[in-house]
Amino acid sequence: MKNTVLTFREAKGREKLAMITAYDYSTAKLMDQAGMNALLVGDSLGNVMLGYENTLAVTMHDMLRHCAAVARAAENALVVCDMPFRSYRVNAAQAMRNALRLMVEGMAQAVKLEGGAEFCLLVRDLTKASVPVMGHLGLTPQSVHALGGFRVQGKSLAQAQKILDDARALEDAGAFALVLECVPAPLAARVTNAVGIPVIGIGAGPDCDGQVLVWQDMLGLTERPARFVKIFEQTGKSMTSAFAAYAEEVRRGAFPAPEHCYGAPEGVDFGELT
């Protein structure tokens, strides 16, 4: 069944939602077939696909291209696309224009943006313009420099109160869901209970309404995964050994074997070539 923003709203308190990052057509197809509720075209593509240290340099062009590829694969999963760092901070018109581009050219079905009360006017405008918005609180990687690094957020009561207030403000502004990243599990539980929209956790404990992971993390492709990552299968290791086996067979002349080759058409003798 096709997942929509309505599915998300209705799932609150009833069933947990599974979201995963996706950046390309082939992988997104497998994820969709596996029954994901949502595919997040995260700006983490800057890290895992492009090799950047953080997400700041990711462009609209990057997001549009990857989002459209994922959207072409997603039959049932809701496709959510991150708004990159520079795409919504200049002014409201710039933000609206870029969100609309992600929905039309990128074929996104919702956008995600990082930040709380300070972005609520924008969330309200986007929602009014029929652009569903997913919020993102806690560790917001686009603010890595403002936060002083990638670290657990909401550890003090003051910080925790701000996250709770921001979650309420985002809901009030019309966000249909929010991601809560890297906060103490009891705080995530408190936020989840305080709002009527689904809270999708990453490093936020078991009491959120759903979970999201970066696929390269959960398949063991990441060198130093965060503590909150569970590696579901060591696909990274089996990929490396498949690549090594291929290189070895090429060098030894074992690949390609006759069954991988096209023979000469009947009556054609390539020995006659001069």
Active-site positions read 181
Residue nearest to ligand KIV (CB): 42
> How far is 44 from 35, CA to CA, in rounded Å?
22
**Binding flag, residue 182, ligand KIV (CB under 6 A):** no
Judged by beta carbon, residue 91 or residue 110, the one nearer ligand KIV is 110
**Is residue 203 near ligand KIV by the rule CB under 6 A?**
no
User: Measured from the CB of residue 18, what is the shortest distance to ligand KIV in angstroms?
Assistant: 13
Do 64 and 72 meet the contact criterion of CB atoms below 8 Å apart?
no
Site membership for ligand KIV, residue 212 (CB under 6 A):
yes
62 binds ligand KIV, rule: CB under 6 A: no
Task: Give the interface size with ligand KIV as a residue count (CB under 6 A).
Answer: 12
Pick between residue 93 and residue 212 the one whose CB is nearest to ligand KIV.
212
CB atoms within 10 A of CB 16: 13
- For residues 99 and 36, what is the distance between their CA atoms, to the nearest angstrom? 23
197, 7 Cβ separation under 8 angstroms: no
* Residue 95 vs 139, nearer CB to ligand KIV: 139
Rounded Cα–Cα distance for residues 5 and 145 (Å): 32
131/179 with CB nearer ligand KIV: 179
For ligand KIV, what does the binding mask look like between residues 18 and 47, x meaning CB under 6 A? ---x------------------x-xxx---
Which residue in the set 71, 120, 173, 214 belongs to the binding site for ligand KIV (CB under 6 A)? Answer: 214
The alpha carbon dihedral of 29, 30, 34, 37 has a sign of negative
264: DSSP letter: P
With b for 16 or more beta-carbon neighbours within 10 A and e for fewer, the 93-132 pattern comes to eebbebbbbbbeebbbbbbbbbbbbebbebbbbbeeeebb
**Does residue 202 touch ligand KIV according to CB under 6 A?**
yes
Least distance between ligand KIV and beta carbon 44 (Å): 3
Residues forming the site for ligand KIV (CB under 6 A): 21, 40, 42-44, 82, 136, 179, 181, 202, 212, 214
